[in-house]
Amino acid sequence: MSTTISNILEGWGNSIKDKFGLLDNPELKAKSEKRLLICNTCSMRDNNTCSRKREGIVVVDFFYNVLEKPRKIGQVVKGCGCNLSAKSLCDDCQCPLGKWVDI
Quick check: 93 and 7 in contact, CB under 8 A?
Answer: yes
**For residue range 78-102, what is the model confidence (pLDDT) as tens digits?**
999 999 999 999 999 999 999 999 9
- Asked if residue 12 has pLDDT above 70, the reply is yes
CA separation, residue 53 to residues 38, 40, 101 (Å): 19, 17, 23
pTM confidence score: 0.90
